Chain A
Amino acid sequence: MERQRTTPFWRDERFLQLLAQIAFLALVAAMLYYLYRNMVSSLERQGVITSFRFLSQTASFDIGEHLISFTRNDTNARAFAVGLLNTLLASFLGIVFATLLGILIGVARLSSNLLVNKLAAFYIEVFRNIPLLVFLIFWYGGVFIKLPRVKDAIILPGPTFISNRGVAIPWGMPTESSNLYWGILGVGLIVAVIVAWRLAWQGRRTGRTPLVGLWATLAFLVVAVLGWVVLPLAPFSLDIPSVKGLNTVGGLRMTPEFAALVSGLALYTAAFIAEVVRAGIQAVSKGQVEAAKALGLNGFQLLRLVVFPQAMRVIVPPLTSQYLNLTKNSSLAAAIGYPDLYSVSGTIYNQTGRAVEAAILIMGVYLLISLVTSLVMNWYNKKVRLVER
C-alpha cells in the first residue's frame, strides 16, 4: 500500500489500463470515421448524396402480407415497419416452437429407450448438417408449394382448407363487445397475478410450495369464461373460411411462405436447442439425481424440481445465442417470398436506389432486435443462476 501511494501516476497500473482503453476506443472511433468519410466522399464523387428523405416518399408497391394496413400510397417508412413486424412475428413464433421442440428432443436424446434416443440423435444430426437456406428452399418449393390447388383443396373438419394458397382455419372475428372483453381478460390477468403472489407467499411461510402456475392459470381461465358468459353479446363470432373465386375467404389464413419460414426456422433451430438442453441436463451432477431419487421423487418431479432448475443455468446463455441466430436467419425469408424486413427493404432500396442508407437501417434494426432479445435473456439468466449464500 505504501509503495503504491508513492508511485507516480504514469506508472500507476490502473491509470495505464484506463489510458490503454481510451486509446483503443479512440483508434476504433477514428477507423470508423475514416471508413464513413471514405464512403460518403466516394458516393459524392458519383453524385449520390446520402440522405434518408426517401423514407417519407410514397412506396408505390404492394406487400403481400401485412399486420398493419398498407397500400401503395403509404410511405417507405411504413413499408419498412410492415417488414419489421413480419420479421418479429416470424421470429417470435419460430422461437416459441423451436424452444418447445428443442426441449422435447433434448430430453428424448437422454432417454434410456433406445428407439427414442436414436430417433432424437438422428433428427439432430440431420438438421444440424443441412444449410438452412437449402432446407428452406426444399421445404417451401418441395413441400408447401406442392400442396393441391385451391379448387382441389384438402378440407379437414372445421372446416380447415389446406392448399398451396395456404392453410385457412375458422377464426374469431371481433364483435362490438370485444373491447369490453379485452378489459375483462386484463382483470383476469390481475386476478391471476394476485393468486400467484398469495400462493407463493403461503409457500414461503409453510415450506410447501403449491403448483403456483397451475392455480394462477386456472384463476385466469375462470374469469375469462365468466366474462364470456356474462356479456350479452359474444365478443367474437366464428368466421368460417370458404373457397370463393381465386382464393379462400374468411377465417384466418396462413400463407405457405409464412408457414414454411416459421416451421423451417423452428425445425432447424430446435436441433441446436436440443443439444443445448442435453448439455445442460448432463451438467447436473449425478449426485443430485441420486439424492432426488433417494427422497422418493418420481420422474416428472425429478426433472421439474431438481434437474431443470440447475440445468437452466447452463442452458440459458447458449439458448440466447440460438434465439439471436433464429432471428437473424429469418432474413432468409427473401428466398421463399415472405415479405420480411430484409425482403421489403430490398424492394425499397431498389426502387429508390438508396442501398447504403437501407443497409444501415437494416443492420441497425437487426442489432436492436438482437440487443433487446439479449437483454431479456440476460435478465432471465440472472434470475435462474445459482444464488450463493
Chain B
Amino acid sequence: MSRKLLSIFAFLAAFTLLMVACTGTKTIETVEVVKTIEVEKTVIVTVEVPAAAGTPVPVAPSGFGETLKTVQARGTLICGVNSQVPGFGFLDQQGNFSGLDVDFCRAIAAAIFGDPAKVEYRPVTAQERFTALQTGEIDVLIRNTTWTSSRDTELATNFVATTFYDGQGMMVRKDSGITDLEGLAGGTICVLKGTTTEQNLADQMAAHSVTYTPLVFENPDEVAGAYDEGRCDGYTADKSQLVARQTTVATPADHIILDVTMSKEPLGPVVRHGDDQWFDIVQWTVFATFTGEEMGITSANIDDIKGSTQDPNIMKFLGLEGDMGLKLGLGNDWAYNIIKLVGNYAEIYDRNLGPDTPFNLPRGPNASYLDGGLLYAPPIR
C-alpha cells in the first residue's frame, strides 16, 4: 500500500516539476516577448529617423513592422498558396510551384530581398487557409481567395488588392444539353468545401428556385474527379479554375462552361490585421506590377529605361528619385527588383494564363485600365 502511495507521490512530483518547468519557460518567453517589443520600438525609431530624414515619426500601432522584421530575420517569405489549380498555384511533377498567385509571392520576395527565390511555399487547403494566416504560420495568403466583407472583417484579415477579377461559373457536359442554371434542376452539382463558391451556389439556386443536390469534397482534385466520372451533372468553381480544370479532364472537348456568371470573385492577397506596414508592402508590390504595365516597363527593357529615362514618374518608380522604398521599410530599388526579376502584370499574366499557355484565357476585366480593363494602380509618388 505504501509503495502505491509512494508511486503516486513520485508521479505527482514529476508532474508538478513538469508544470513548473512549462510555466517557467513560458514566463521566460513572455518576458522575452515584452523585451523584444521594447527593442522593436527603439529599432523602428532609430531606423526611421535617419531614413525618413526629418519627417515626424508616426506612433506605431501594436504589431506595426513586426511581420517584415520576422520575414527579414528568417531570410525567407512564407507564402500560403494553392498547389492544385494550374495557372494560379500549382505544384508540378518536378516539385516547382508556378502560377499567377505564386508569381506574386515571388514579387514580394523580390521587393524585400531582391531575390524572388527566397520564398517558402506552404500549400494550404481552402478550409485551413485563414487559420494558417491568423496563427502566423504563413506571412501572406495568396491562394485564389475571394475578397468579401465578412472575410475582411470577421476573420481578422485584410485583403490588400485584387490581382484577378474572377466570377463563378458552371461546367457541364455538352451532350447533356444544359444551357442555363434551370437546366440543372434535380441534378447533382460538385463543389469544393469551405469556399464562397459553396455559398454562392446555394444563393443562386435559391434565387432561380432550382432544386439540386450539392456534393461537397475537401480537395479540388476530388471535386474534378467526381465530375469527370459523371457523378455530378455540373461542376461549379471560379471560371479561371474551370478553364484550368477543363484542360485536365479526360476529354476536354466534351465539356462546356455555361455562359452564366454567378458571382463577383475578386481574388487577391490577404494579410493579418494589425500590421499596416506589411499591408502596405504587399499592396504596393501588387500596384508596382500594374504600374510597370501602365508605364510600358518590362523585365526586358527595364535596364535600358533605367539608364535613359528623364520621366520623373518613372524615376520615382525605379527608385532613382525620392524614397518610396524606404517609406515601405524596403530598399529603394524594390519596384525595380519586382519588374526586373518577376515582371510587370502583363508578363505575369501571359506567363501563367496567356495565349502561350494551355488556358489561353482572354484578359477581359483583368486588362489595364488603359486597355479598358479594371486594373488601375494609384500613383507612386
Contacts and interface: CB of A to CB of B under 8 A. Distances in A.
B186 A334 contact: no
Contact of A145 (B23, B151, B184, B231): B231
Interface string A52-90: 000000001111110000011100000000000000000
Contact of B127 (A16, A339, A350): A350
A149 interface: yes
Interface string B169-195: 000000010000000111110000111
B154 interface: yes
Contact of B193 (A249, A347, A355): A347
B330 interface: no
Given A334-B218, A350-B130, 16 more contacts: A46-B273, A47-B156, A62-B212, A62-B214, A63-B214, A64-B214, A73-B206, A141-B222, A149-B230, A164-B230, A247-B186, A257-B215, A337-B216, A347-B216, A350-B195, A351-B194
Among A47, A165, A337, the most chain B Cβ lie within 10 Å of the Cβ of A337
A13 B2 contact: yes
Interface of A: 13, 16-17, 20, 23-24, 27, 30-31, 34, 46-48, 60-65, 71-73, 141, 145-146, 149, 164-165, 244-247, 249, 256-257, 334-335, 337, 339, 343, 346-347, 349-353, 355
A23 B9 CA distance: 10
B154 A60 contact: no
A256 B233 CA distance: 15
B5 A17 contact: yes
B210 to A, nearest CB: 11
Interface of B: 1-2, 5, 8-9, 12, 15-16, 19, 23, 126-127, 130-131, 134, 150-151, 154-156, 176, 184-188, 193-195, 198-199, 201-203, 205-206, 212-219, 222, 225-226, 229-231, 233, 272-274
Nearest to B126: A350
Nearest to B228: A145
B218 A27 contact: no
Given A72-B206, A246-B184, A337 B134 contact: no
A256 B231 contact: yes
Contacts of A352: 154
A60 B134 contact: no
Contacts of B199: 60-61, 351
A244 B226 CA distance: 21
A13 B5 CA distance: 8
14 contacts: A16-B5, A17-B5, A24-B15, A48-B134, A48-B156, A64-B213, A64-B214, A73-B206, A145-B229, A145-B231, A247-B188, A335-B222, A337-B215, A353-B130
B201 to A, nearest CB: 7
A62 B202 contact: yes
B125 to A, nearest CB: 10
B194 A355 contact: no
Given A60-B199, A72-B202, A244 B186 contact: yes
Among A343, A350, A352, A353, the most chain B Cβ lie within 10 Å of the Cβ of A350
Contact of A62 (B15, B155, B194, B201): B201
Contacts of B126: 350
B134 A27 contact: no
A343 B194 CA distance: 10
Contact of A346 (B184, B193, B203, B205): B193
Given A48-B156, A246-B188, A343 B193 contact: yes
Contacts of A146: 229
A310 to B, nearest CB: 33
A165 B186 CA distance: 12
A177 B231 CA distance: 38
B12 A47 contact: no
Given A20-B9, A72-B202, A347-B216, A46 B134 contact: yes
Nearest to A31: B19
Nearest to B136: A46
A61 B194 CA distance: 10
A199 B216 CA distance: 52
Contacts of A164: 229-231
A23 B12 contact: yes
B279 to A, nearest CB: 14
Contacts of A27: 12, 15-16, 19
A38 to B, nearest CB: 8
Contact of A246 (B187, B194, B222, B274): B187
Contacts of A337: 215-217, 222, 226
Contact of A60 (B155, B185, B186, B203): B203
B186 A246 contact: yes
A236 B226 CA distance: 36
A346 B187 CA distance: 24
Given A246-B188, A249-B186, A346-B193, A61 B231 contact: no
Contacts of B202: 60-62, 72
B156 to A, nearest CB: 4
Contacts of A17: 5, 8
Top 3 nearest A-B pairs (CB, nearest first) are A350-B194, A246-B187, A72-B202
